[in-house]
Structure 1
């Protein structure tokens, strides 16, 4: 009877870590989009990376470590993890207060990003990433690893607390519902087009009506009625003045003539 050959031993893939190269940027960007697609649907604050442009700029900045974790299955390596860290606060959009750590004699290694392939979670990749970051911190003389995680990411919180991470600050997002009103008025039904508008009065009639209304208003304001022209007494006609008499002519003086002898 022929003996059975032993089944070949199944070897687990080996994970390797290296620094990122320029040729890796597009592949890593697609990897990060896949990892954070589900996380960004559940958090208020948008998780990194924000844009591909910013991700490409990070590669050119000094003081930032970008580590790639790969396993070899078949011919091509597969990206299963990514870590990004900085030895100082970098970037204008960073909210970290450096004085907080200086006043407590802390020299932190700021962990900007940790991403694990969703199909390889629970296989020790995350623990290997944390060990690598702790090794960098010790080599560079850092005293703490500092990172940010969303409060509703329960799985990540459990992972970090199991590895002796503790909360040092809390950011709470508050919201209050308000009753909003539309800026535009609702639709309105038009009047029937068959109804004709009453003709307007001529301008002369409108002027007379306004004059009558004005006289009534004046009488009401003074408390007496306007006098009727027919009730008023007629005034006597004054006699026309006679023309002045012409001035009298001066009397002529008579001179006595001498009589003839």
Structure 2
């Protein structure tokens, strides 16, 4: 109880931040772009790994990662359709198609940049072209980190329980790294690296905790979604969890920006 009282001054502003309408608008925008962006990224990454690099163990690790984020029928649905897509195109997926898919995949970073700039008090957003350039860099950096978990699990991917444990152990630092890169590079200003790294640790742990919660409640959640949304059940599930993860990411950014203001650290626009 005493520890909670000490933490309450830090927790209360974040809870109030999550009640703001603007935060919900940003989070839903990010979640909608996840729905539009995530699958094209998977198609490009899995096609390269399978047909260019012939890393079949890593490919299986990707499927394991998807089932970790989306257990049950939703994860199986994504994996099944991803396999059907890349097997159908095979090596015929052209370079132009890959570039176009990558362009589609970076849509998540546009509303996220606007939200982070707003949190940090940065008045000027990047131009569309500059946002695309930064987003492509983040796609490569975050994608590389995410694939690292698949690489870690690939040697034992045929041993279900062991691969799941290895993936879980590798997942937390990778999640923290992805959140940190997003916090550090996406805002159109020079944010304090140490503060955003601390925030990334808390957010990374929170995301992994939400993934565990998803594992526990997915039978009930899947039944509810299938009953209420029928053909759109999997899409709605992805949006809901993407919204929750977005709220956590924005909450961590708000905490770090609040601490920076308390320390009289100013963040100016890069442009």
Shared fold per TM-score greater than 0.5: no
TM-score (normalised: structure 2): 0.22
Q: Considering fraction of residues, name the structure with more helix.
A: 2
TM-score (normalised: structure 1): 0.23
Larger radius of gyration: 1
